[in-house]
Amino acid sequence: MTAPPNRPGRIALVAFPGVRAFDVSVITEVWGVDRTDRGVPAFELRRVAGDPAPVQLRGGLSLTPDRTLAWLARADLIVVPGLDDHLTPAPGPVLDALRHAHTRGTPLAALCGGAFTLAQAGLLDGRRAVTHWNLTELLKQRHPRVTVMRDALFLHEDNIWTSAGTAAGIDLCLHLVRTTYGAEAAATIARSMVTAPFRTGTQAQFIEHPTPRADRDADALAEARAHAMAHLAGPHTVSGLAARAGMSARTFARRFQATTGTTPMRWLITQRIAAAQKLLERTDLPVPEVARRAGFGSEVTMRQHFATHLSTSPRDYRLAFHDKGGEEVG
């Protein structure tokens, strides 16, 4: 999603009978609330439908569209909510409009069962996609040309985003803000929603439903993570974190992945990238010092991780997202 700096980002929420009220609320909470007084860019969120009639939602709710499908030609991002009944057929004009938007190069994002709508349009044929873990087999059966991934919280392929269940829709929306407007904008929105600006891991942590260990083990894992977060600049190893948790390295790694859905070192890299993003946005610290404070040790190492995970360099990230009014962190 890209928006010219002289106007708000234009976000289209596509509505038709059967879309989930929760997903509509998530989209509205992320892009439909004015937070410019807190430094978040302005967004123009429009509720788009085939006609101006109110769209009935479950629970006696309704959504009143304020634009027709023609407005999709102006959107910088189109977001498709999930469905109450995942086999709900989307109206033909909606499917046609989504196909045309993708042809124009407009990014499309589907929350949870919204992947079924994109699949109905043929937009996921030959592409990877994700949906709620409990719907993966249904999506495979109904749309065999889609490569359905089971574990990811969200996926991006060919300008199309799909996400897993309920909370992962929030993850995807915040990620889209973060990649376009910076980590600080996403973090500000997340704080107002009282949610994490990003989660690490995969759906595996929810699919497998691992049996909880004793409370002391859960507390030990949390304490080890908190220690690493408080000392990102220091060196950390699995064995060192395991010792702090009072576990063997093997047991620690296994229980860490069962709890978070990722490995200790991947989790640590994600935290360091997030810390570096904030320093690049908020401060004028030299890039090598940012690398040191974030725990990368060297600018070269940080640059490699930025290229792998963000498809950019630290210097280019700063150029794009640096807050000129920010103060240097001591």
Task: Give the pLDDT band of residue 67 (cuts 50, 70, 90).
Answer: very high
198 found inside a domain: no
The dihedral built from the CA positions of residue 117, 120, 123 and 124, taken in this order, carries a sign that is positive
Q: Pick the last residue of a domain from 135, 160, 193.
A: 193
Q: What is the DSSP track for 63-115?
A: E--SEEGGGGGG-SEEEE--BSSTTPPPPHHHHHHHHHHHHHT--EEE-TTHH
- Phi first, then psi, for residue 176 (nearest 5°) are -65, -35
Same domain membership, residue 99 and residue 65 = yes
202 found inside a domain: no
136 found inside a domain: yes
User: Rounded to 5 degrees, what angle do the CA atoms 195, 200, 201 make?
Assistant: 130
Same domain membership, residue 25 and residue 164 = yes
252 found inside a domain: yes
1 found inside a domain: no
Interval 193-234: pLDDT, tens:
877 665 554 444 334 434 444 456 667 888 898 899 889 999
Give me the chain's average pLDDT, please: 87
Same domain membership, residue 19 and residue 162 = yes
Same domain membership, residue 82 and residue 30 = yes
Same domain membership, residue 249 and residue 277 = no
Q: If we measure between CA atoms, which residue out of 198, 142, 192, 140 comes closest to residue 168? A: 198
**Pairwise pLDDT comparison (211 vs 293), residue with the higher score:** 293
204 found inside a domain: no
172 found inside a domain: yes
CATH number for the domain spanning 111: value is 3.40.50.880
Same domain membership, residue 298 and residue 185 = no
Residues linked to residue 47 through DSSP beta bridges, in sequence order: 13
Question: Does the structure show a pLDDT above 60 at 296?
Answer: yes
Interval 224-266: pLDDT, tens:
988 998 899 999 999 999 999 999 999 999 888 877 768 899 9
CATH number for the domain spanning 280: value is 1.10.10.60
Same domain membership, residue 131 and residue 253 = no
Same domain membership, residue 218 and residue 185 = no
Interval 81-110: pLDDT, tens:
999 998 889 999 999 999 999 999 999 999
201 found inside a domain: no
Please state the domain count of the chain: 3
- Phi first, then psi, for residue 45 (nearest 5°) are -95, 125
List C-alpha distances in Å: 101 to 22, 23, 97, 113, 220: 24, 21, 6, 20, 49
- Rounded CA-CA distance 256/264 in Å is 7
- Rounded CA-CA distance 276/270 in Å is 10
**pTM of model > 0.75:** no
Domain enclosing residue 311, as ranges: 266-321
Same domain membership, residue 239 and residue 226 = yes
- Rounded CA-CA distance 51/49 in Å is 5
Q: Are strands 77-80 and 108-110 parallel, antiparallel or unpaired?
A: parallel
The dihedral built from the CA positions of residue 48, 54, 56 and 61, taken in this order, carries a sign that is positive
Question: Does the structure show a pLDDT above 50 at 2?
Answer: yes
Question: Does the structure show a pLDDT above 60 at 324?
Answer: no
Same domain membership, residue 289 and residue 150 = no
List C-alpha distances in Å: 75 to 3, 67, 160, 258: 9, 11, 14, 40
Same domain membership, residue 174 and residue 278 = no
Q: Pick the last residue of a domain from 245, 261, 277.
A: 261
- Rounded CA-CA distance 9/2 in Å is 7
Same domain membership, residue 301 and residue 159 = no
**Count of beta carbons in the 10 Å neighbourhood of residue 116:** 28
Residue reference for tokens 């959107």? 75
Please give the pLDDT value at position 197.
Answer: 62
